[in-house]
């Protein structure tokens, strides 16, 4: 594994594996990338310039393998900010899906356990955990509707079709005062989840809308395309 990536002037990022880097702007020789000083420039065979830098976590995270749809960064940010998780926290999420949320949280907390019922998705999630070299994530091939074996958890995040089926198990697994967060794309799911809460207080349900803007010269305005729907976040605390 080569610990370097290529950055273009307009912010595109290209990963470097153990071979020449093939980009839409031509080929950059691996030998050139390896001998370049960090921050210096290399050229492809077509003359395009790339800056050689060290990848940060996000560069690698953005290239993870996708199975099911992953949770967007705006929603990950809210989960972190609204629950106060930190390097002492023990977290569980379900379903693992591509493992995106599990991997992101693992960088910040003590440990993450992630349940997934589908073997093919569990394989993808495990592959991503390995690629990101995270040692504190455990992917378990388990149905969360059947129960949670972990105890004394600080946070559980649900991202699955029938989150209300996990409420009772989450209650048994969380510390008093700990957070349960549900992420659902549709309003009937949100209603059914909140209406079936027992032993939790419903703090709030939010939808985060991120609107990206063009900033080019004096053309400073919202982009004409964008804003798709992702999901509703419901924050609850165990009583």
Residues that bind ligand SAH (CB under 6 A): 68, 70-71, 94-95, 97-101, 115-118, 121, 143-145, 159-161
User: Please, what is the minimum distance in Å from the beta carbon of residue 96 to ligand SAH?
Assistant: 6
Q: In whole angstroms, what is the distance from residue 202 CA to residue 32 CA? A: 56
3 state DSSP class of 63: coil
Question: How near is the Cβ of 139 to ligand SAH at its closest, in Å?
Answer: 11
Q: Which residue number, 85 or 94, has a Cβ lying nearer to ligand SAH?
A: 94
In the complex, the smallest distance separating the C-beta of residue 28 from ligand SAH, rounded to whole angstroms, is: 31
Lookup: tokens for 134: 């995270």
Strands 137-140, 111-115: pairing kind: parallel
Nearer to ligand SAH, 16 or 79 (CB): 79
Closest by CA to 112, choosing from 123, 126, 228, 218, is 126
Return the number of the residue (55 or 97) whose C-beta is nearest ligand SAH: 97
| CB closest to ligand SAH, residue no | 95
Question: What residue spans of 22-118 are helical by DSSP H?
Answer: 30-35, 57-61, 73-83, 100-106
Nearer to ligand SAH by Cβ, of 116 and 150: the residue is 116
CA distance 63 to 61: 5
- To ligand SAH, the closest distance from the beta carbon of 192 in angstroms equals 15
For the beta carbon of residue 59, count every other beta carbon within 10 angstroms: 15
- Please state the closest distance from residue 88 (CB atom) to ligand SAH, in A: 23
Looking at the Cβ atoms of 55 and 99, the one nearer to ligand SAH is 99
Partnered with residue 4 across adjacent β-strands are none
């Amino acid at each position: 594994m080569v610990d370097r990536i290529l950055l273009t002037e307009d912010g595109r990022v290209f990963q470097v594996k153990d071979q020449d880097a093939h980009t839409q702007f031509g080929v950059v020789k691996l030998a050139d990338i390896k001998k370049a000083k960090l921050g210096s420039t290399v050229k492809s065979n077509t003359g395009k310039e790339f800056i050689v830098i060290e990848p940060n976590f996000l560069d690698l995270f953005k290239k993870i393998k996708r199975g099911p749809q992953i949770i967007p960064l705006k929603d990950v940010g809210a989960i972190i900010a609204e629950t106060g998780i930190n390097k002492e926290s023990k977290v569980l999420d379900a379903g693992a899906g591509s493992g995106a949320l599990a991997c992101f949280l693992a960088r910040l907390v003590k440990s993450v356990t992630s349940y997934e019922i589908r073997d093919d998705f569990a394989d993808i999630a495990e592959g991503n955990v390995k690629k990101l070299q995270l040692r504190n994530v455990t992917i378990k091939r388990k149905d969360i509707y059947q129960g949670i074996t972990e105890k004394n958890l600080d946070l559980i995040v649900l991202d699955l079709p029938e989150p209300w089926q996990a409420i009772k198990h989450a209650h048994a697994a969380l510390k008093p005062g700990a957070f349960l967060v549900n992420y659902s794309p549709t309003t009937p799911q949100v209603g059914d989840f909140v209406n079936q809460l027992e032993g939790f207080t419903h703090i709030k349900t939010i939808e985060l809308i991120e609107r990206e803007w063009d900033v080019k010269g004096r053309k400073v305005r919202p982009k004409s395309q964008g804003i798709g729907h992702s999901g509703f976040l419901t924050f609850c605390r165990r009583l």
